[in-house]
Amino acid sequence: MAISESPEILGSTATVISTSHSDSDLDLLSLRRRTTNATNGAGIRAPDNSGNGEAVDYQDRVESANFTSNVGEKANEIPTSSDIRFTYRPCVPAHRRIKESPLSSDAIFKQSHAGLFNLCVVVLVAVNSRLIIENLMKYGWLIRSGFWFSSRSLSDWPLFMCCLTLPIFPLAAFVVEKLVQQNYITEPVVVFLHVIISTTVVLYPVIVILRCDSAFLSGVALMLFACIVWLKLVSYAHTNNDMRALAKSPEKRGADHMHDVSFKSLVYFMVAPTLCYQPSYPRTPAVRKSWVVRQSIKLIIFTGLMGFIIEQYINPIVQNSQHPLKGNLLYAIERVLKLSVPNLYVWLCMFYCFFHLWLNILAELLRFGDREFYKDWWNAKTVEEYWRMWNMPVHKWMVRHIYFPCLRNGIPKGVAVIIAFLVSALFHELCIAVPCHIFKLWAFIGIMFQVPLVLITNYLQNKFRSSMVGNMIFWFFFCILGQPMCVLLYYHDLMNRKGRAD
């Protein structure tokens, strides 16, 4: 072993020495100590907590660095006799301070686990590769030729036409704002017209989907688009109303609150990856075309991976299952657990494709600057933290247009939170129940069930400080129990509805 590979032992030889050394050794030791002290005074400030383990570690690092650098400068030279005499001396103590094992409870979160993370990634890839090969050998290729496009897709043209006509409603909202800006209509009339426009933008797609026997994915896409337009129109109307109020206020009259209705700003807002309207947004200087191409390739790959998992794993599991609330309990638990892993993969791929790839691609093309579409929700210690971090566009919309307006109108904080979850639950139910033509309120109940989970995880977080109990509860209810259960419930209700129709 080379000398430079053991800086701790090299440093220890400069600090602990036996009294039986020769005079030349002691002179060399004092010279090294003077060199170390000079280095500390010139460029390194020693910590004040002398005498504890941290001070000893610091002194070891300084002395080891000095001595190792001296050795490194003479790496090509033959070591002198004095260097050899101070290396691996038996009289030097090998154990000099209290230390914890890296995996002990006191030190485990202070260590870097990058190597273990790499191991988990390798094991995950190896295990899932084996499962994919085993699945293909046992069941064959289960993806249908019409998975991406089939003759039935042509019957969804009413939904496509409905999607193309939805931009009429933002145009109507713009006309309303122009009329009130020129004092042709009053504020109550403005509110009434905006309510009519925003309500119609949701009811119109619902009627079209219910009257057409369309594919489930087509219905979900249309409902998601309609809900996004509704959220944007509410923000557009609410923000303009607030800007008019500020412009008329004598206390806050000024250039910063001058109200001007711009069609260009509305068009940019309707296509921008945000749900909160404002006249201008932070913009990036240019579009990175090569970056957009790379992200687009990733989007295609992960979208194909989602389709593969759905067709090859989820569909067979669901088709060979029973209704979770009507069959055997142990069998239902087994189906839910078996479905949880591929469902988790699809959900993570969906999050990565939409919130990271698609929204960043859209932001890059539009030079939209604020790209905090999500935070580190996977580290959420409570369900409340998760809902604040996983979907930032919706969270900002809820805070801006529901939560704080409720507080300003004297509504208690707890009631405001319930109202926000109620709005979220209604739109989750619309986006799933309408394309399925089933109104069993499973999605609504699942979202409203988050309210007691918020209280439970907040209590556990306050009781067990700096623990991940809430994080484990979040992962269990969302990925192991909640989502697979909803998939089974809606699938069997949908199959029962089709069976009765046939």
In a domain, 37, yes or no: yes
In a domain, 165, yes or no: yes
Do 271 and 160 lie in one domain? The reply is: yes
In a domain, 439, yes or no: no
pTM over 0.75: no
User: What pLDDT sits at residue 35?
Assistant: 44
User: What pLDDT sits at residue 459?
Assistant: 83
Q: Which of 21, 428, 437, 492 is catalytic?
A: 428
Buried b (16+ CB within 10 A) or exposed e, 110-129: eeeeeeeeeeeeeeeeeeee
The answer to whether 113 is a known catalytic residue is: no
Do 175 and 276 lie in one domain? The reply is: yes
User: What pLDDT sits at residue 251?
Assistant: 64
Do 182 and 264 lie in one domain? The reply is: yes
Identify the helix (H) or strand (E) that includes residue 6.
none
d(CA 157, CA 162): 8
Buried b (16+ CB within 10 A) or exposed e, 330-354: eebeebbeebbbbbbbbeebebbbb
Do 181 and 65 lie in one domain? The reply is: no
In a domain, 122, yes or no: no
Q: DSSP labels for 412-440?
A: -HHHHHHHHHHHHHHHHHHHHHHHHT---
From 78, 93, 108, give the residue that closes a domain: 93
- Neighbouring C-beta atoms of residue 464, cutoff 10 Å: 12
- The pLDDT profile of the chain, 502 residues, written as one tens digit per residue, is 433 333 333 333 333 333 334 444 444 444 444 444 444 444 434 444 443 444 444 444 444 444 444 444 444 444 455 566 666 677 777 787 887 787 777 766 677 777 888 888 899 889 888 888 887 887 777 776 555 555 555 667 888 888 899 999 999 999 999 998 888 888 889 999 999 999 999 999 999 988 887 777 888 889 999 999 999 999 999 999 988 888 777 765 544 555 678 899 999 999 999 999 998 899 999 999 999 999 999 999 999 888 888 888 888 888 777 776 676 778 778 878 888 888 888 888 999 999 999 999 999 999 998 999 999 888 888 888 888 888 999 999 999 999 999 999 889 998 999 999 999 999 998 888 888 888 888 888 888 888 888 888 888 888 777 667 777 877 887 777 777 777 877 777 777 666 555 5
d(CA 196, CA 193): 5
In a domain, 323, yes or no: no
Based on the structure, what is the number of domains in the chain? Answer: 2
User: What pLDDT sits at residue 113?
Assistant: 72
User: What pLDDT sits at residue 271?
Assistant: 93
Do 198 and 82 lie in one domain? The reply is: no
In a domain, 32, yes or no: yes
Buried b (16+ CB within 10 A) or exposed e, 86-104: bbeeeebeeeeeeeeeeee
In a domain, 459, yes or no: no
Do 82 and 161 lie in one domain? The reply is: no
Do 68 and 158 lie in one domain? The reply is: no
Tell me the helix, strand and coil percentages in the chain, rounded to 5: 70, 0, 30
User: What pLDDT sits at residue 232?
Assistant: 94
Q: What are the Cα distances from residue 399, in Å, to 122, 207, 420?
A: 41, 30, 9
User: What pLDDT sits at residue 75?
Assistant: 40
Do 182 and 259 lie in one domain? The reply is: yes
The residues, ordered by sequence, that sit 6+ positions from 146 with a Cβ below 8 Å of its Cβ are 152
CB 252 within 8 A of CB 193: no
User: What pLDDT sits at residue 467?
Assistant: 63
**Structural domain of residue 168, as residue ranges?**
154-281
In a domain, 265, yes or no: yes
User: What pLDDT sits at residue 399?
Assistant: 92
DSSP annotation of 45: P
